[in-house]
Structure 1
Amino acid sequence: MPSGSPNSSNSLISSYSFEEFYHGWCHRQAQLSAEINAAVHGKSGDEGPVIEERAARLLIARVLGHFEEYYEHKSRAANLNGFALFSPTWCSSLECSFLWIAGFQPTVLLQVVSDSVRDLSPDQTLALERLKRETRINEKVVEDELARIQETVAAPPLMDVIRKAAWPAEMKTSNTESEPMEQLSRALETVIANADSLRVTTGAKVAEILTPYQCLRFLVPAIRLLQSLRISGRERDVLAGTGSDTT
């Protein structure tokens, strides 16, 4: 992971745009989503296995690689400006309202599994329930970590500090390069990394519990949820005059 002084980080930010990557990544996600839908529903639209197991595993591997790419870029972005990931301009206000430590909450993923995969075996059901319990415990650990950072910020509230520090160019003055702010940025980077690690680990364990075809059936609503939040959120922001109609 690249590191350096705050000034060198600012120069790197100008040459690297996570927002540009994110828009391209979402476009590629939409293409993957169409492939998954076709694999699950086929041309008739009726749900049923229309893909061989080997092909299903390859498609799942591509999806995992797609998200791995996202977290690699996100880690880079967090190192350059951890504040921005807590106040992302590339997300709609609706998307931001669902964020849990700069991303989706892992237990939401597990709820989608329960809602979308109805043919779990008894062993799969037990494994999923164990994973839910473990994930709730681990979520609490990360939340406590963020709470400890909040305690180091006397006033104003942490999110106010983050919003002001995320985009210093918009402020008349900025103290984001002071030592306390640099320490806060590094602390937030660590929390984001731990939250992302939990997200990735949870997704990987879900893939281990489910069969390949069950996994594809789960991915259909999981990706649709992300897409719906993005599209609906941008439409709301455009109507409210707080966003653009570009995707």
Structure 2
Amino acid sequence: MVQREGNRKGPITASNSEHEGPKTPDPKTLRRLAQNREAARKSRLRKKAYVQQLESSRIKLTQLEQELQRARSQGMFFSGGGLLGGDQNLHVISNISTDAAVFDMEYTRWLEEHHRLTCELRAAVQEHLPENELRMYVDNCLAHYDVVMNLKGMVAKTDVFHLVSGMWKTPAERCFLWMGGFRPSELIKIIVSQIEPLTEQQILGICGLQQSTQEAEEALSQGLDSLNQSLSETITSDSLSSPPNMANYMGQMAMAMNKLSTLEGFVRQADNLRHQTLHRLHQVLTTRQAARCFLAIAEYFHRLRALSSLWLARPRQE
């Protein structure tokens, strides 16, 4: 009988041990859990804002396309900062097309938004945010470059010469213009020193990107040189004496127009190369390195614009 009581007490003790409640976490653990929850909440909010910004950019581009179509259909254009139409067109001569004028306005807005995003990115880097939070700011900047590429693609359809001329850029920026934009291989050289230290794998990736980019640039430049030479030969295939043979003249102009239409293709390929280079850099680099990369790019072009302002404001001798 005594032995049975002892056997009965053993299981009861074990059962009580199994049903003991969980230990209360220490304050440090509770604080860390709270911080993690707050970080996750902020990350969700930033992701939501990022998605909304992309949707807003898509809507904005759609509206811009509609504005261009409406302006073309109404025969309206910009001159001296004002939108003109109807009989006023008879008295005003515009140096740029409607599409180019709208592009210039949208590019100015793009620069303002780019400055705001860059300031946010710089503040995020200085605050040493975790990479998962910093990534949202980096992605915002990359997506904003996609916006300007889309804007350029729209105006290239109707006024590719405006892009090639670089009149939408400041004077100092035009010194480095290549097929309607920056030369991506030069940009890689500029930012490499800003994103060190690099791992061996990253160095190999960037060197490979640099080489392939330079090869693509060379191929495009050679193609454009060939186009220029062919175009020159076409319009001079007949005598340049005046008056020209009208039949030959019109034939030359028709051939030249066909050849000149390929210029849009060169600009589009150059823009695609610029677009691919930015995205490849984003893939090769860590989030924090990519942040420094985009900050360095923004600062470089900011300094070129500042140099242009100083140049235009310089004292001039009469």
Q: Normalising to structure 2: TM-score of the pair? A: 0.60
Contact 2:156 2:264 in 1 (8 A): yes
The aligned counterpart of 2:98 is: 14
The alpha carbon displacement at 1:26 in A equals: 0.6
The alpha carbon displacement at 1:20 in A equals: 0.3
Cα-to-partner distance string for 1:133-177 (whole Å, 9 max, x where unaligned): 11111111111111111112328xxxxxxxxxxxxxxxxxxxxxx
Question: What is the percentage of aligned positions where both structures have the same residue?
Answer: 23
The aligned counterpart of 2:40 is: none
Q: Give structure 1 regions of 4+ aligned residues with deviation exceeding 6 angstroms.
A: none
The aligned counterpart of 1:68 is: 146
The aligned counterpart of 2:126 is: 41
The aligned counterpart of 2:22 is: none
Contact 1:83 1:185 in 2 (8 A): no
The aligned counterpart of 1:24 is: 109
The aligned counterpart of 1:188 is: 263
The alpha carbon displacement at 1:184 in A equals: 4.8
Amino acid at match of 1:218: C
Amino acid at match of 1:52: P
The aligned counterpart of 1:46 is: none
Structure 1 residues 215, 150: closer, same or farther in 2, change over 3 A?
Answer: same
Amino acid at match of 2:278: G
Q: Secondary structure at the match of 1:17?
A: helix
The aligned counterpart of 1:218 is: 293
Of 203, 227, 230, the match for 1:152: 230
The aligned counterpart of 1:237 is: 312
Structure 2: give runs of 5+ residues left out of the alignment: 1-64, 78-96, 234-252
Contact 2:121 2:291 in 1 (8 A): yes
Alignment coverage as a number of residue pairs: 208
Cα-to-partner distance string for 1:23-42 (whole Å, 9 max, x where unaligned): 11111111111112112223
Q: Secondary structure at the match of 2:177?
A: coil
Contact 1:25 1:70 in 2 (8 A): yes
Mean Cα deviation higher: 89-98 or 116-125: 89-98
Cα-to-partner distance string for 1:175-211 (whole Å, 9 max, x where unaligned): xxx6456435522111110001111111111111100
Contact 2:149 2:271 in 1 (8 A): yes
The aligned counterpart of 1:113 is: 191
Kindly indicate whether structure 1 or structure 2 has the higher relative contact order, using CA contacts under 8 Å at least 6 residues apart: 1
In 1, distance between residues paired with 2:133 and 2:289? 14
In 2, distance between residues paired with 1:127 and 1:201? 14
In 2, distance between residues paired with 1:221 and 1:30? 13
Contact 1:127 1:209 in 2 (8 A): yes
Q: Normalising to structure 1: TM-score of the pair? A: 0.76
The alpha carbon displacement at 1:106 in A equals: 0.7
Structure 1 residues 11, 143: closer, same or farther in 2, change over 3 A?
Answer: farther
Q: Secondary structure at the match of 1:154?
A: helix
Cα-to-partner distance string for 1:188-239 (whole Å, 9 max, x where unaligned): 1111100011111111111111000110011111111111112221331243
- 1:208 maps onto 2:283 in alignment: yes
